[in-house]
Amino acid sequence: MPVRPTRISMTDLDLSIPPINESLCKIDHPLISEAQRLPETHAAGGAERILSIKDRVWFKVKTGRWRGAGTRLPEADRADAGPQIRQAPWWLGAGGYRREGDPGDFYSALTASWDRNGGDSDRWLPADWDWKRLQLEHAYEWEANIRRIVRGLIIRSLQDGYPYQAEFEHYKVTALARAREQETYLVVGTENIADPKVFAIIINAIPGIDHSSWLPEPDGVAGLQPAPGEVIWSTIMPTSVAAQLLEDLSDKR
C-alpha cells in the first residue's frame, strides 16, 4: 500500500510538483522513500507513534537527518468509505530535519505547531488538492493502460497477421494489422464502448496516425465481422509507424 505525500509535506521538503504521469509516491526523496515502509512496519507492530500529537494517530518516519509524520486514515475502514480513501489510506503529512536538543527539531516544532492550533492536526491531512492530484494520476494511468493494451494487440498482429483481442473492465478491443509493400492496413474493433472518451483513447493509441483517417466498416473488413455492440474501424498505418512499434518491442526484450 503506497504512502502519498501531501502537498504540505512536499512544501516542507522544498519539493516541486512532478508531472501528472509521475506518482507522488515515487518522488526521489529519502523521506518519501522511507515512508513507503510504514504500512508494513505498522502491520508488524513496529510503527512508532508520535505521542505528543493526541487528536489523531501519527507515526514517526525517520531516515538519516530526515524526520516525518505519517498517518493512516481510519475513515478507510468504514463501510461507506469512498474509493479514493480506500485506495490511499496512508499519507505523509509533514516533514523536516532532525535537530536534537533544538526547538527547531522536527518533532518539537510539530508539537509546538499542534499546540498553537488548539490540538488539531487536520492541517497535515490530505486536502482537496491532494485528492484531485490522486484522481488525475489514476486517470492518466488508466488511459496509459488502455494505450498499452491496444499497442500490444497491434504489435502481436504485426508479427503474424492474425487478429488479437483483449478485455478490460467491460470493454473489448480487437486489432488486426496486415502489412503491404508500402503501408499496413490496420483494423480495430471496439465492443461495448459507448463512452466517446474511451473510444478516442483507443483510436489515438498509436502515434503517427491521424484520427480523422479512421473509417467505419459496418459490414466488416479483412475477415472480421462486427459482433453485437461492436464497431469496426480501419485505417492505413504508415510503414514507419509499424516499424517503430516493432522497434519498441525489441527494445523491451
Angle at 40 between CA 35 and CA 45, to 5 degrees: 110
Residues in the chain predicted with pLDDT less than 70, given as ranges, are: 81, 101, 103, 181, 249-253
How high is the pLDDT of residue 125?
96
By the 8 A CB rule, do 242 and 253 touch?
A: no
Quote the cell numbers at residue 224: 472480421
Specify the pLDDT at position 41.
96
Report pLDDT for 252. Answer: 62
Contact 70, 38 (CB under 8 A): yes
The whole-angstrom separation of Cα 14 and Cα 168 is 39
Contact by Cβ (8 Å): 60, 107: yes
pLDDT at 231: 84
* Closest among 131, 130, 137, 136 to 6, alpha carbons compared: 130
Q: Which amino acid is at 79?
A: A
CA 107 to chain CA centroid, nearest Å: 32
Distance in angstroms (rounded) separating the CA atoms of residues 154 and 161: 9
* Strand, helix or coil for residue 182: coil
**pLDDT for residue 250:** 59
Domains in the chain: boundaries: 3-126, 140-252
Name the residue type at position 48.
E
Name which of 18, 2, 171, 201 is nearest 84 in CA terms.
2
The residue count of the chain comes to 253
Residue 189 CB burial class (10 angstroms; 0-12, 13-18, ≥19)? buried
pLDDT at 94: 97
